[in-house]
Structure 1
Amino acid sequence: MAAALARQMAEWRSPAAGGSRGEATARVRRASAHRRDAPVLWPEPARRSARLLQATSPEELNKFIFHQEERFFQMWYPESFMRIIGADNMITMPGSSHKHLRNLVLRLFGPENLRRDMIQEVQKTAQSSLLLWLDRPNIELKEAVSSMIFSVTAKKLISYDSSTSNEEMWKQYDAFISGLLALPLYIPGTAFYKCMQARKNVMKTLKELFDERKNAARRQENIDFIDVLIEELDKDTISENAALDLVFLLLFTSFETTSSAIAVVIKFLTDNPKALQELTEEHDYIQKTRANPNSGITWEEYKLMKFTSHVIHEGLRLANIAPVVFRKAIEDVHIKGGGTRQKLC
């Protein structure tokens, strides 16, 4: 799909969307007793006296933070961010509950389902989107790809049909993204206010879907994630608020991260004709060796796409799709201080 989009973009010579390098963020305070370029990462209680955040870009420091997760650092997000994604979201759940919900998600998005259903669904959606874009003089790549991916994931999660929908839910998520990391001023007209209103509208729609499905006389033929969660509600293994927050978060993360990755890969392919040519040849060879040239992609064909896999991994390596990652120090951690060895303060 990335190769096809890149070829189309190259023909139009439209500017492709780019990506920016992600930066890990941790609470940092500098120690006066040590060299001034020696960062000290302070634990959560320190925020009561000073709310200091520092964006870290050195690769060595970022690796240390991620490798020491759950030992010196924990996943953390600003209070405003947590208000947006919901108090009962998957991120804040303890280990056992988090693992249980992750297993539920894998029932629909795991490798088995990917091999059996999703690879075909993604191809059909990509083909129809490419045909639709041919009639346009230009497109906003990131937005167009986001809408396309949203239609795939939303269909799996809530049986959303983009062909019959007025894209109202997608528009709400578009507003949601613009205020995700905005200054948390809940005042009409601000990005944060629009973001919270978008969340309110989406949650209302999801609640209506849950109520409709729970009150249905019989289950629908094609099971989606709402059906899976309703089964869990009947078992009392999850609360309704947690279920709603989970669907809300999955809808956002599934299309936003994937569309960012596709946009980045297309940007790099457009700038590297040699790589684009090799990618195109790999896909053309697979199509020519099919018994039926018009048949859909199979899992076996996907596994043959070695260069495609390299392109995806290299794109993700060069441009982190996450704009920022938050971590909280749970112990005082001193890194490379004053010529001494790494130590806890």
Structure 2
Amino acid sequence: MIPKGSSGWPIVGETLDFIASGYSSRPVRFMEKRAALYGKVFRTHILGKAIIVSTDPEVNKVVLHNHGNAFVPHYPKSISELLGKYSILHINGPLQKRVHALIGGFLRSPQFKAQITRDIERSVRHALSSWMEKENHPIYLQEESKKIAFEVMVRTLMSVGPGEDLNFLSREFEEYSKGLISLPIKLPGTRLYKSLKAKGRMLKVVRSIIEQRKMAMEEKDGKGSIIKDVVDVLLRDTFQSDETQPRLPLDSISENIIEMMIPGEESVPTALTLAVKFLSDSPVVLARLVEENMELMRQKAELGDEYNWIDYVSLPFTQNVISETLRMANIVNAVWREAVKDVTIKGHLIPRGWCVLTSFSSLHMDEANYENPYEFNPCRWEKTGTTVNSNTFTPFGGGQRLCPGLELSRLEIAIFLHHLVTTYRWVAEDDDITYFPFVRMKRKLPITITPIVGGHPLKPHIDLDNY
């Protein structure tokens, strides 16, 4: 049986209520209200589509773990226009599985982990040192965190460091990303048209980098130097002789590289910003985080060792803070899938051609899953543990499309928090979170920073009682 629900008003459906909840302090209100009336799986009509919404963790798991034989990705028309035909978000089956595995394997490799830890530290330290010039003046954290995260992402993808190319890509990508949620009209002057033009300008730079890298590989017959970034991973795969394996077409690598910049512009910066927001509102939590990170700093200083990946991901309370930030932030609040055939899950019929929206935010803010869900409480993870594959904790998605960069994202947040709390005290101004069309701070979270007394970042003095 098709789930119960309402189609709302003609044409607009229930879109207005859906958007209104995104601008409120309780963005899951739309889902909660209908789940209470019709059950955890219900139908509605939003954004021009008749869809089925699931706030049931078991139904979500079935949808997310499907390998393309029943559900395929579905996106608003504006996003589909801006993604290429062979976008990793669009492709299915063996090719998607192979590309996902190649990128995930590289991001988990010891060589990459060692190098990216140093790269992130360098970017964070440079950014924080530049804040010294702004003492007693507001720093807009959401903007500053974008600079850090985008630099890290572009280095991971193409080994492009600070300079003219990075500045160009940053400017154009900001223009490009504005069109991801927009009216699907491509006439000159429209938001989508401007974003498509920005993508075209980026493609010229990215294609030039890839072409140079390809020529170097051809000289070595696809062999030789160590793989240092995602471009190398995807290009090296095109040189493989096994024709039975699906390959990502060479022409589409550039478009996929641009698409994979999105976490550096949206997801990670938002998580960094909201972590500071939540910590600013929770002095007891902040004091405990400071204590843990100060202890790590003292240990490394005494031993004279450099930091490594394990140092950061092994900080238990810091990782709990990150998990709690991701749970409450709901940066990726849901994913859309389209049924390619009639599917029945737990008695709910999802007809062929219908879209299903698996709501992550509903799971994260459900009292049945988390006690006092609107309370920022990292200590809750000391009981449950950080289980990124849990049915009720899905900040990175799930199944075959689980974000391959989830460990990198957590590392980046951990490094940023470590160096921030061991270098500065700060005071955050009042600011509110908005949840539509993207999660972000209304005022970009202005903070005023003060260097920790004692001056040297490696040996600051801090009075936890005054935090």
In the superposition, relative to structure 1, how do residues 110 and 163 fare at CA in structure 2: closer, same or farther (>3 Å)?
Answer: same
How many residues align? The count is 307
How far the C-alpha of 1:81 sits from its partner, in A, is 1.1
- What is residue 310 of structure 1 aligned with on the other side? 320
How far the C-alpha of 1:19 sits from its partner, in A, is 11
- What is residue 196 of structure 1 aligned with on the other side? 196
- What is residue 278 of structure 1 aligned with on the other side? 288
Paired with 1:315 and 1:183, the residues of 2 have a C-alpha distance of: 31
Which of 233, 238, 260 lines up with 1:233 in the alignment?
Answer: 238
Paired with 2:161 and 2:252, the residues of 1 have a C-alpha distance of: 24
Matches within 5 A, 1:125-274: 125-136=123-134, 137-163=137-163, 165=165, 167-216=167-216, 223-235=228-240, 237-274=247-284
Query: Do the aligned residues in 1 keep the contact of 2:106 with 2:233 (CA within 8 Å)?
Result: no
Paired with 1:221 and 1:73, the residues of 2 have a C-alpha distance of: 37
- What is residue 81 of structure 2 aligned with on the other side? 83
Paired with 1:294 and 1:21, the residues of 2 have a C-alpha distance of: 47
- What is residue 96 of structure 1 aligned with on the other side? 94
Query: Do the aligned residues in 1 keep the contact of 2:103 with 2:233 (CA within 8 Å)?
Result: no
Matches within 5 A, 1:28-47: 37=38
Taking structure 1 as the reference length, the TM-score comes to: 0.76
Q: What's the secondary structure of 1:91's corresponding residue?
A: coil
Paired with 2:230 and 2:133, the residues of 1 have a C-alpha distance of: 34
Deviates more, 1:74-83 or 1:215-224: 215-224
How far the C-alpha of 1:65 sits from its partner, in A, is 4.4
Paired with 1:115 and 1:311, the residues of 2 have a C-alpha distance of: 22
Write the letter of the residue equivalent to 1:142.
Answer: Q
How far the C-alpha of 1:266 sits from its partner, in A, is 1.2
Write the letter of the residue equivalent to 1:186.
Answer: K
How far the C-alpha of 1:221 sits from its partner, in A, is 7.5
Query: Deviations 1:293-322 (Å, cap 9, x if unpaired)?
Result: 775322342244110000000011111112
In the superposition, relative to structure 1, how do residues 147 and 20 fare at CA in structure 2: closer, same or farther (>3 Å)?
Answer: farther
Paired with 2:88 and 2:321, the residues of 1 have a C-alpha distance of: 31
- What is residue 49 of structure 2 aligned with on the other side? 52
Write the letter of the residue equivalent to 1:223.
Answer: K
- What is residue 378 of structure 2 aligned with on the other side? none
- What is residue 7 of structure 1 aligned with on the other side? none
Write the letter of the residue equivalent to 1:97.
Answer: L
Unaligned runs of at least 5 residues, structure 2: 1-22, 351-467
Query: Deviations 1:153-195 (Å, cap 9, x if unpaired)?
Result: 2112112111454601011111122211111121233221221
Paired with 1:188 and 1:134, the residues of 2 have a C-alpha distance of: 43
Write the letter of the residue equivalent to 2:282.
Answer: N
- What is residue 289 of structure 1 aligned with on the other side? 299
Write the letter of the residue equivalent to 2:317.
Answer: F
- What is residue 335 of structure 2 aligned with on the other side? 325
Paired with 1:192 and 1:21, the residues of 2 have a C-alpha distance of: 30
Paired with 2:70 and 2:226, the residues of 1 have a C-alpha distance of: 48
Matches within 5 A, 1:20-35: none
* Larger relative contact order (Cα-Cα within 8 Å, sequence gap ≥ 6): 1
- What is residue 402 of structure 2 aligned with on the other side? none
Taking structure 2 as the reference length, the TM-score comes to: 0.57
Query: Do the aligned residues in 1 keep the contact of 2:70 with 2:340 (CA within 8 Å)?
Result: yes
Query: Deviations 1:254-285 (Å, cap 9, x if unpaired)?
Result: 45211121111111111111111110110001
Query: Do the aligned residues in 1 keep the contact of 2:174 with 2:265 (CA within 8 Å)?
Result: no
Deviates more, 1:60-69 or 1:325-334: 325-334
Paired with 1:294 and 1:266, the residues of 2 have a C-alpha distance of: 29
Q: What's the secondary structure of 2:275's corresponding residue?
A: helix
Q: What's the secondary structure of 1:96's corresponding residue?
A: helix
Write the letter of the residue equivalent to 2:306.
Answer: G
Write the letter of the residue equivalent to 2:49.
Answer: L
Q: What's the secondary structure of 1:92's corresponding residue?
A: coil
Query: Do the aligned residues in 2 keep the contact of 1:84 with 1:196 (CA within 8 Å)?
Result: yes
Deviates more, 1:90-99 or 1:232-241: 232-241
Paired with 1:19 and 1:312, the residues of 2 have a C-alpha distance of: 24
Paired with 1:87 and 1:222, the residues of 2 have a C-alpha distance of: 26
Query: Deviations 1:215-264 (Å, cap 9, x if unpaired)?
Result: 34677777332222222223373211332222112122345211121111
Query: Do the aligned residues in 1 keep the contact of 2:151 with 2:264 (CA within 8 Å)?
Result: no
Q: What's the secondary structure of 1:326's corresponding residue?
A: strand
Q: What's the secondary structure of 2:311's corresponding residue?
A: helix
Deviates more, 1:86-95 or 1:290-299: 290-299
Q: What's the secondary structure of 1:87's corresponding residue?
A: coil
Which one has a larger percent helix, Structure 1 or Structure 2? 1
Query: Do the aligned residues in 1 keep the contact of 2:156 with 2:229 (CA within 8 Å)?
Result: yes
How far the C-alpha of 1:73 sits from its partner, in A, is 4.7
Query: Do the aligned residues in 1 keep the contact of 2:73 with 2:338 (CA within 8 Å)?
Result: yes
Across the aligned residues of Structure 1 and Structure 2, the Cα RMSD in angstroms comes to 3.7
Deviates more, 1:64-73 or 1:83-92: 64-73
Unaligned runs of at least 5 residues, structure 1: 1-17, 31-35, 43-49, 336-340
Paired with 1:319 and 1:63, the residues of 2 have a C-alpha distance of: 18
Query: Do the aligned residues in 2 keep the contact of 1:157 with 1:225 (CA within 8 Å)?
Result: yes
Paired with 2:340 and 2:285, the residues of 1 have a C-alpha distance of: 44
